[in-house]
């Protein structure tokens, strides 16, 4: 079996940057709280301190969740395409695939090279998100499909 598609890992740097920013906001809140000389501080101020901490915990959990996904996401052999998930592998016969599409990720006018790969079959569609270089992966999968069809009908 050969591997074609890999998970994109660029989000880790973005999440790390966001965690750093939230730590800076938290330090600012704590330092301004310690510098204030008002002894009658409301409990609402302490809830404001919990907001950045909750955001930091959420980002850390998102990093852990995404890093636990298998790095190798799409593979193939002579007869099948394989989609690898955490606990299972989906096997799709190459002859059943009608088409394969890619959808690049977009954000506020920026288009990324990572995105989703979509396998369309007669009875079901399979969408694998966060694939690095998704358009290159789809062109490779199209070549594999053409070779498979050519081998089936060559006598």
| pLDDT digits 0-9 by tens, 44-97 | 677 777 888 888 999 999 889 888 888 999 999 988 999 998 889 999 999 899
Q: How far apart are CA 97 and CA 80, in angstroms?
A: 10
Asked if residue 138 has pLDDT above 90, the reply is yes
SS3 50: helix
What strand order describes the sheet that includes 110-121? 97-107, 110-121, 125-131
Return the higher-pLDDT residue of 31 and 123: 123
Q: E strands, 7-152, where?
A: 72-76, 80-84, 89-93, 97-107, 110-121, 125-131
Residue 107 binned pLDDT confidence (cut-offs 50, 70, 90) = confident
pTM as predicted: 0.74
Owner of token pair 């088409």: 99
Return the higher-pLDDT residue of 21 and 86: 21
Mean pLDDT of the chain, nearest integer: 86
pLDDT of residue 133: 92
Q: How far apart are CA 51 and CA 69, in angstroms?
A: 28
């Amino acid at each position: 079996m050969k591997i074609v598609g890999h998970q994109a890992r660029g989000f880790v740097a973005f999440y790390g940057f966001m965690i750093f920013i939230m730590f800076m906001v938290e330090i600012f809140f704590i330092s301004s709280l310690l510098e204030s000389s008002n002894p009658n501080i409301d409990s609402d101020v302490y809830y404001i301190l919990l907001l950045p901490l909750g955001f930091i915990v959420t980002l850390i959990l998102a990093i852990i969740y995404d890093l636990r996904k298998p790095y190798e996401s799409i593979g193939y052999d002579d007869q099948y395409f394989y989609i690898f998930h955490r606990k299972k592998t989906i096997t799709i016969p190459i002859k059943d695939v009608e088409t394969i599409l890619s959808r690049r990720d977009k954000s506020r006018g920026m288009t990324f090279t990572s995105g989703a790969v979509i396998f369309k079959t007669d009875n079901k569609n399979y969408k694998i998100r966060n694939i690095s270089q998704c358009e290159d992966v789809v062109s490779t999968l199209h070549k594999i499909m053409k070779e498979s069809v050519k081998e089936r009908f060559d006598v």
